[in-house]
């Protein structure tokens, strides 16, 4: 069933965290029967806002009205001890369920299978199918494609495209975001509405940034101009006063006239001081307001020639290689793997979840030493500087500060490192903040700083699902860093847009 008249309206919603910080303040919006996306930095309150829409949380202030039910599907959900058929019982009993849609989702899955043995993608498909039993006015999907392989992502994308009622997707999956009709952006400045899909939103954001940069530049130049004029007028008046003093001392004018001129000159100086100071203060206030009205953005502006590698340099070699875990009946891959990387190539490993991509990376990193198991063939990594970035940011020591983490891997002095950390947006005392207190996006930037500022800089960079759990802004930061990287790159990722942005040359399927 499609609710053509569905509407959810929020008026002046605010939400305060238990410790007293305000997550968002006085946001208002109206959603109807269409496809929406909700984007914004991690930690800005997207999931909290979604739960308020669904009635799972109460706002600290403001009100929300719903013409029909709102169903919230979280990113993670515990699996009950049931079969697929038992879990989908509400679907069989619902007269409103869209059979062509749920049939496509359930597909070849056996209804007798336990939920516990399903892959992450299959579990998401079953959860989406069950949601059709309730036919809400608005269905909210929170990061539905996170940690899913390409095949599972395709099922979710098709679901969103085919869904007949209102739907709101919280996601950083740009392919999925292209299926919506309106993008809502939650930021430190509130909620902004963009009437189009991700591509439209991205274009509008670029226009916004350019306009904001022009306004800031104009305000900055106006502030400097006012300050310069202020000092020039004061200097000119001071010169007049000095000339008057000189004239008075010469005795060429009566003392009463000299005194009058001196008082008049001082009064003029005071007026200049008051009037020009007001103009300077107003210009400074205009600049401050423009600066504070900016949305929090991410940008690195990196240049990394130290990471370059000669075109003929061997990076790694894998020849007729296969691996079997202890106790396993079969080798991990159906076919033996043979790969030779030379020079600054950009490759990706693809394949379904569980196909052994991370195992292959671990074997490559250890030169075939770990994990333990039976091995066939050759696997060798050349002796050149390398770094490994995983989605847990394990390169960082959580007990140390950002500065201490970077100082541990370089011979550069503290002043130089602090200057370089500014490129990664760690300014002032931020460099002394402990890793464990950072947000996910900040940990990403700290990891990139530790990897790319190392001495020597890595010429081979390995990344294992680096985009999981990143918001769009942090994704752009990662892409910008990798675009500037001049060494060899091997990445595991299901995010096809990400692979396109970092200019991956070849994709090798593992399985």
Determine the Cα–Cα distance for residues 233 and 207; give it in Å rounded to an integer: 39
Q: Are 84 and 113 in contact (CB under 8 A)?
A: yes
Cis peptide before 180 (omega within 30 of 0): no
DSSP 114: B
Q: What is the structure's pLDDT at 1?
A: 45
Q: What is the rounded CA–CA span in Å between residue 333 and residue 330?
A: 8
**Cβ contacts of residue 358 below 8 Å, gap of 6+?**
464, 492
Q: Which residues pair with 314 in a beta bridge?
A: 342
pLDDT at 294: 64
Q: What are phi and psi of 241, to 5 degrees?
A: -65, -40
- The label of the residue with tokens 């899913």 reads 148
Cβ(222)–Cβ(286) below 8 Å: yes
Between CA 328 and CA 371 the distance in angstroms is 13
Backbone CA torsion sign across 434, 436, 437, 442? positive
CATH topology for the 305-509 domain: Rossmann fold (3.40.50)
The neighbouring-strand residues paired with 337 are 321
- The pLDDT value given to residue 179: 96
Can you read off the two tokens belonging to residue 418? 């602090």
What's the rounded Cα separation, in Å, for the pair 389 and 503?
Answer: 18
CB 82 within 8 A of CB 115: yes
Helices (H) and strands (E) in the chain, counts: 15, 17
Nearest-Å Rg of the Cα atoms of the chain is 31
Per-residue confidence (pLDDT) for residue 244, from 0 to 100: 65
Stretch (H or E) spanning 109: none
CB atoms within 10 A of CB 393: 19
- Cα 178 versus chain centre, distance: 17
Give the whole-angstrom CA distance, residue 16 versus residue 22.
4
Distance separating alpha carbons of residues 16 and 131, to the nearest angstrom: 30
CA distance 345 to 120: 31
Residue 411, burial from CB neighbour count under 10 angstroms (0-12, 13-18, 19+): exposed
Q: Report the distance separating Cα 79 and Cα 70, nearest Å.
A: 22
Cβ neighbours around 4 below 10 Å, total: 9
Q: Which one-letter DSSP state was computed for residue 79? A: P
Picking from 422, 423, 442, 420, the residue whose alpha carbon sits closest to that of residue 433 is 442
Res 224: pLDDT = 83
Instruction: Write b or e for each residue in 101-111: b if 16 or more Cβ atoms lie within 10 A of its Cβ, otherwise e.
Output: bbeebbeebee
Whole-number Å distance between alpha carbons of 489 and 341: 10
Rounded Cα distance, 145 and 347, in Å: 23
Nearest of 127, 120, 162 to residue 141 by alpha carbon: 127
Sort strands 70-73 and 22-31 into parallel, antiparallel or unpaired. unpaired
Length of the chain: 511
Q: What angle do helix axes 120-131 and 99-106 make, rounded to 10 degrees? A: 170
Task: For domain 8-196, give the CATH number.
Answer: 3.40.50.300
With 0-12 CB in 10 A as exposed, 13-18 as middle and 19+ as buried, what is 226? buried
* CA 229 to mean position of chain CA atoms: 43
pLDDT in single tens digits along all 511 residues of the chain: 445 578 999 999 999 988 888 999 999 999 999 999 999 988 889 999 999 999 999 999 999 999 999 999 998 899 999 999 999 999 988 887 888 888 889 989 999 999 999 988 999 999 999 999 987 889 999 999 988 888 899 999 999 999 988 999 999 999 999 999 999 999 988 999 999 999 999 999 888 877 877 877 787 887 788 778 777 777 777 777 776 666 566 666 566 665 666 677 677 777 777 777 788 778 777 767 766 666 656 566 666 778 899 999 999 999 999 999 999 999 999 999 999 999 999 999 998 888 899 999 999 999 888 899 999 999 999 999 999 998 889 999 999 999 999 999 998 889 999 988 888 888 888 899 999 988 777 888 899 899 988 989 899 999 998 888 788 888 888 898 889 899 999 999 989 999 999 999 999 998 8
Prediction pTM value: 0.75
């Amino acid at each position: 069933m499609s609710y053509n008249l569905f509407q959810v309206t929020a008026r002046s919603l605010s939400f305060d965290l238990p410790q007293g910080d305000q997550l968002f303040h006085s946001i208002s919006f109206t959603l109807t029967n269409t496809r929406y996306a909700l984007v914004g930095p991690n930690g800005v309150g997207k999931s909290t806002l979604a739960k308020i829409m669904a009635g799972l949380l109460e706002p600290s202030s403001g009100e929300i009205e719903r013409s029909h039910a709102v169903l919230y599907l979280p990113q993670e959900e515990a699996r009950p001890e049931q079969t697929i058929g038992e879990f989908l019982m509400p679907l069989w009993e619902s007269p409103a369920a869209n059979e062509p849609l749920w049939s496509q989702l359930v597909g070849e899955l056996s209804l007798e299978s336990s939920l516990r043995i399903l892959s992450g993608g299959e579990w998401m498909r079953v959860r989406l199918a069950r949601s059709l039993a309730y036919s809400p006015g608005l269905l909210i999907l929170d990061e539905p494609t996170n940690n899913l392989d390409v095949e599972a992502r395709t099922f979710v994308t098709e679901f969103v495209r085919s869904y007949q009622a209102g739907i709101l997707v919280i996601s950083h999956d740009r392919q999925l975001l292209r299926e919506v009709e309106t993008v809502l952006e939650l930021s430190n400045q509130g909620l902004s509405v963009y009437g189009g899909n991700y591509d439209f939103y991205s274009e509008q954001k670029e226009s916004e940034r350019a306009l904001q940069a022009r306004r800031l530049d104009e305000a900055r130049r106006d502030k400097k101009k006012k300050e310069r004029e202020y000092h020039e007028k004061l200097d000119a008046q001071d010169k007049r006063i000095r000339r008057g003093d000189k004239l008075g001392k010469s005795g060429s004018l009566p003392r009463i006239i000299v005194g009058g001129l001196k008082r008049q000159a001082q009064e003029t100086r005071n007026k200049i001081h008051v009037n020009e100071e007001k103009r300077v203060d107003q210009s400074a206030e205009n600049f401050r307001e423009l600066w504070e009205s900016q949305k929090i953005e991410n940008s690195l502006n990196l240049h990394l020639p130290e990471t370059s590698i000669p075109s003929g340099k061997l990076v790694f070699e894998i020849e007729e290689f296969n691996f079997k875990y202890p106790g396993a009946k079969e080798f991990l891959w159906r076919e033996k793997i043979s790969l030779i990387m030379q020079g600054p190539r950009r490759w990706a490993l693809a394949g379904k979840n569980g196909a052994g991509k991370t195992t292959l990376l671990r074997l490559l990193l250890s030169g075939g030493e770990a994990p333990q198991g039976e091995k066939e063939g050759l696997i060798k990594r050349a002796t050149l500087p390398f770094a490994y970035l995983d989605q847990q940011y394990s390169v960082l020591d959580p007990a140390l500060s950002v500065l201490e983490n970077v100082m541990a891997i370089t011979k550069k002095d503290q002043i130089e490192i602090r200057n370089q950390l500014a490129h990664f947006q760690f300014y002032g005392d931020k460099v002394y903040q402990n890793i464990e207190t950072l947000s996910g996006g900040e940990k990403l930037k700290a990891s990139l700083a530790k990897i790319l500022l190392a001495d020597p800089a890595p010429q081979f960079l390995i990344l294992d699902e680096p985009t999981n759990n990143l918001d769009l802004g942090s994704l752009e930061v990662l892409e910008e860093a990798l675009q500037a990287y001049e060494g060899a790159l091997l990445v595991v990722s299901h995010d096809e847009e990400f692979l396109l942005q970092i200019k991956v040359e070849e994709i090798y399927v593992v399985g």
